[in-house]
Structure formats: C-alpha cells, structure tokens
Structure 1
Amino acid sequence: MSVAVLGASGTPQPPNILLLLMDDMGWGDLGVYGEPSRETPNLDRMAAEGMLFPNFYTANPLCSPSRAALLTGRLPIRNGFYTTNGQARNAYTPQEVVGGIPDTELLLPELLKGAGYVSKIVGKWHLGHRPRFHPLKHGFDEWFGSPNCHFGPYDNRARPNIPVYRDWEMVGRFYEEFPINHKTGEANLTQIYLQEALDFIKRQQAAQHPFFLYWAIDATHAPVYASKPFLGTSQRGRYGDAVREIDDSVGKILNLLQDLRIVENTFVFFTSDNGAALISAPKEGKYLECPQTTLHSRILFP
C-alpha cells in the first residue's frame, strides 16, 4: 500500500491495521496447524475465514532483532539489531545494554502517520529502554506496556524490576504494581493488555480515525503466565493456559470489530516474533504429539 495514495484527498478512509504479535509462540501450537488438543477455536476460525502464510519467515531467532525487522522492513544486519552482546544495538535482556533503534530507521507507524493514522503499541517494545528510543519518538502516538519482557523479580538495588509505562509516564513495575506469581503462574497482564486494545479501537472508531494497533503481548514468553480463569484449563499445562487466554482475547478483539461494523475495513494480522522457545517447555508445558516446530517459523493470518 502506498502512503501517498492512502493519504490523497478524496480517497476513502484507509483500512485499519491490527498487528497481533505473540512472543516465542510456535506455529505448531495452533489447531489450524494440527495441534491435537484444538484449544484455539478463535484463531482457527480466523485462519479458516482469512488467509494462511506458512512461508512467512522471521528475520532472526531472537526477540529484538525480529521485532526491529518487522517494524522497519529491513534485515537485522541493516537496522543494527543482529546479536545479543553489548556491542550491538540490540536492546536485549540485560538492563545494562543501553542501545536501541537508531533515529535513522523509519518505522511502520511513522509511515502510517503521513496517511492520517493514529498508532498504539500495547505490550513489549524491546527496541531500547532509554528515552531516545521510546516508541513515542518513533511514530507511535500511545503506549501501554514495557520496554522489555516480564523477567524478574529483581532486588531493586543492583537491578530494579522492569517498568511499565503509559505513554511517557511510568505507572508501575512488574512483580510490584503488576504482580506475577511464579509459583502458580497467575498474572492479569493479558486481560489488561486486552482492555487497552479494546479501548483504543473504540476511541479511534468514534473519532473516525484510521488506526494501527501493534498488540505485542508476552504471555507465551517464559516465565509463562495466565489469568486465574484460564489457569489449569488446558491439556498442555501452563503454556497451554496462556495460549487459551490469547485465543480468547483475539476472539474478543474480532467480535468488537464486528460489533463496530469495521471488520470489512480492517486488516488483522496474527504472528509470532521468532517461533517457539523450547526453554520453557519442560517445566511449563505438557508434550502432545504434534508437528515439529522450528525456531524460525512464523504464522500470519490477515
């Protein structure tokens, strides 16, 4: 799509865009790809009614580089995110890494802004935690989420717990104002992220603004979590609980688009950043016979 064409006077309102990006979720975890428990009815229906792109590959097997590539359309070796050590701009896990997305990179929300879009990121940014790398400095109009994953808890002395932001304001930290119980796996984060998405869609539709929602939640990234109503409901352990809650949330988002009568003018993409992370499988999931997954595979349904 050409931004110039979309923004031209006299043309219909551009389509809304929802990019639902999961964290370390494998393609073999969905019923549409043969997962035997069939616990993802909303995503399976989305695939049946839309399109499957089974050869849509991620650019890197790590979170930051794959996200940078997705939002810039450029390979990691070109956008500066290509490794996990402190010498590269990668914004990876250690909080001591201070790099981030360069100002010279043009991100998708920056392009869409020229066509009149309002853009929001919900969830994990992971392209730099210093102010110069803030998502609102790179095209997004709103943000609710964190610069990194929900790692921790930390001692808040040598290394503080990871913050959660609403736009420029820090509204709390993981394990403090936003609790995550490692023992039970209970956390209400997916429900909070879901409400942020629903509220944003309603507001933009009421204002008649075309919108871009980047829903980058991290429930399937270790340590895996789910809210209380979903814990213990899956045949696949805690990981399956998280997948079931994600599927339910996607169903609620799609239903809202239908209720607002904007479903025909909205592209919805569902994908994962870099495929399954097997590190969480032994403790937080149960094995069932299912197709082999690959770290580099990606799913995408519009």
Structure 2
Amino acid sequence: MDFVNFLIQLLNSVQYGLLLFMLAAGLTLIFGIMGVVNLAHGSFYMLGAYLAWSLAAQLGSFTLAIIVGTALSVAFGLLIERLLFRHFYHRDHLDQVLLTFGLIYVFEELRSMIWGDDVHGLPVPELLAASIPLTENLSYPVYRLFMSGVCLVLALGLYLLISKTRLGMKIRAGAFNREMTESLGVNIKLIHSVVFALGIGLASIAGMIAAPVSSVYPNMGSQVLIMCFVVVVIGGIGSVRGALIAALLVGLVDTFGKVLLPQASGMLVYVLMAAVLLYKPEGLFKQ
C-alpha cells in the first residue's frame, strides 16, 4: 500500500470512527446516566436519515433539512422519553431490553407506513460535491471531510457541555449518585430528559450526514447498533472520552482490516473488543 492509498484509508477510518462516536456517545450517555439499555438507539439514526431525505426534497436545502430534522427528532425523543422510558428507569434491565427491542419493530413499521420500503439516494449538496485531487487517478471527496468536521465540532461541543457548564456538572453528579443529586434539589427527571434528547439528537444528526454516502434504506439502524455497543463496551460504559477513543480504534481496525485482511475483517473488531475486555473488563475508561 503506497502513501496515498494509506492516507485515503486513514481518512476513511477517521470519518467512520467519528460517525460511530456520534452514535455511541448518545448511547453511552443514556446508559451511563439514566441506566437504560436502549436497543432502539439505532432507529433514531434511521429516523435522521429518512428525515434528511424527505425534508431535503420538500425544503430544497440539505442544511435546512438537518436543522428541521434535528428539531423533529429531539421532539420525538422527548415524547418517547416522557411516555415510555421515564417509567422504566427503576425497572430491571430485562424490562428495558424488552421495551426497546419492541420499539425497533414499532419504528420499522412506522417507517414502512410513512416512507415505504424502497431504497432512496440523497445527493451530496453541490457546494460539497467536489473532490480533492491526490494523484492523477485518485481523489478524496470533500463531503467526507465535511462529515468528519461536523462530528469533530459536535464532539468538542459535547465535551464543553459535559465538563465546563453548570448543566454538565449536574449531569455528572446525576451519573455519580442519582439519589444524592436529587436530594440536593436537582430536578433529575429534567436532567434525564435533557440527556435523552441529547443522545437522540446526536444519533439523528449522524443519520442525516451519513445519508448521502450510505443511502437511505429499511433497517439501516440495526446494522450500526451492534458496532455502537462494541464501541461503548471498549470505551467504558458512561465514558464519553472512552467512546471517542474506542470509536476511532474501531474505525481503524474495521477500515484497514477490510483492505489488508478481507477474509478476517468481519471478526477483527470483535477480537479487539475481546482483547480489551481481557485486560480491562470495565473498558478503557471508567465513567
């Protein structure tokens, strides 16, 4: 592999890893702070992709589609949290698994009723449709760099929110000791709603920016959900920093594995997870 091909695969792995982080960050926040195992998290990734496709056609602007779609996804997430998830915070994880597993089928059926079962393509916005030439025959799409940039900006914003703001302090306190935080006058139900909305917003944005690259198709959320759980387990449940590092590791292993070891690429990520858990059963970073 020459340097140019190595650079292309490196950029692809970083872009894929950052996209996984967008999903895994919301998943690890919801589980680490709220204690809810949300198997339906991938459905919000799918929701974001379908909203981007339908809204871009109606509004005529991909940027407006992302803004409106994010608002709709967060509103829908808050409604689901209030009607369903709020009643399962103190229930067994098995009850939460059964609830969220059932929601996957509900969301898939709603998707089929609203948008149908066809595969849809979302064109890359004209402003980002160019490619950066690397050699005479090889180039790299600007849109993939845009995806990485959006993910980096959101990752930085999430870090600043969690570590530098008063709301972030309350979120960390609620994750450390829920009962004590509530006894100090913090509205823990409101904190849970904010965290759930934040996780859903990140997942839906990931689906929106990935739609022009991966297309929009039924059951697309289930395919990324397993990889997100792998990232959460490797990084450490509840750790946003761990989710970022684990997502980048998974992106590197998966991308270069498909290039260098295509016959074994399907299991390399799980070998990585097994190796991490063998030496650090709690993951790379604790909450």
TM-score between the two structures when normalised by the length of structure 2 = 0.26
TM-score between the two structures when normalised by the length of structure 1 = 0.25
Higher relative CO (CA 8 A, sep ≥ 6), structure 1 or 2?
2
Q: Which of the two has greater helix per residue?
A: 2
Q: Which of the two has greater strand per residue?
A: 1
